[in-house]
Amino acid sequence: MSNDGRTTDHPKIQRIPRPGRRPLFPFKATQIILLFFSVLEGLIALRILLKLIGANPLSPVVSLIYGITTLFLVPFAGLIRSPATDGMVLEISSMFAIVVYALTALMVEKIITLFFPRPRSPVSNVSETTTGEQHPSP
């Protein structure tokens, strides 16, 4: 269409994603799982450090950390011999446990996202009309 040197393009339809409501269960479940395993791995790493520097096991904080982590280290007890000297212990089995728990967290997260995939966002239509001037070619 041409009118006094001006043209009007036909409307263009463009499909853009529209933010919508997504199920929160998979997202929140993976966040909780990763938080739990991160805290657990941090406590085990702290236990390794405390054992390595020969911290006093009668101290309340050290006793609390040892008490919490002992429950999660039972499956790994006696797996690998821990070298010790002058009250300092290098718990190699605890290092192994950190790796196993990290892989477990990753596996559980992948299983949740496999069974509860995130849906694609809904699509909405947007129309755009442009107007421009048409110059006669010489």
The answer to whether 92 and 80 have CB atoms below 8 angstroms apart is yes
Q: How confident is the model at residue 137 (pLDDT cuts 50, 70, 90)?
A: low
- Rg of the chain over CA atoms, in angstroms? 30
The answer to whether 1 and 62 have CB atoms below 8 angstroms apart is no
Host domain of residue 73:
24-115
* Domain-embedded: residue 61: yes
Structure tokens at 89: 């212990």
- Contacts with 54 (C-beta within 8 Å, 6 or more apart), sequence order: 86, 87, 88, 89
* Domain-embedded: residue 110: yes
* Domain-embedded: residue 134: no
Q: How confident is the model at residue 129 (pLDDT cuts 50, 70, 90)?
A: low
Q: How confident is the model at residue 113 (pLDDT cuts 50, 70, 90)?
A: confident
* Domain-embedded: residue 103: yes
Predicted confidence (pLDDT) per residue in 30-50, tens digit:
899 999 999 999 999 999 999
Predicted confidence (pLDDT) per residue in 47-93, tens digit:
999 999 999 999 999 999 999 999 999 999 888 888 988 889 999 99
* Domain-embedded: residue 6: no
The answer to whether 37 and 105 have CB atoms below 8 angstroms apart is yes
CA nearest to 101, candidates 70, 67, 72: 72
* Domain-embedded: residue 124: no
96 has pLDDT over 90: yes
7 has pLDDT over 80: no
* Domain-embedded: residue 137: no
* Domain-embedded: residue 14: no
Residue owning tokens 């995130």: 118
Looking from the CA of 89 toward its CB, the CA atoms found within 13 Å total 17
3-state secondary structure at position 71: helix
Q: How many domains does the chain have?
A: 1
CA nearest to 38, candidates 120, 106, 96, 92: 106
CA quadruple 71, 76, 46, 58: dihedral sign = positive
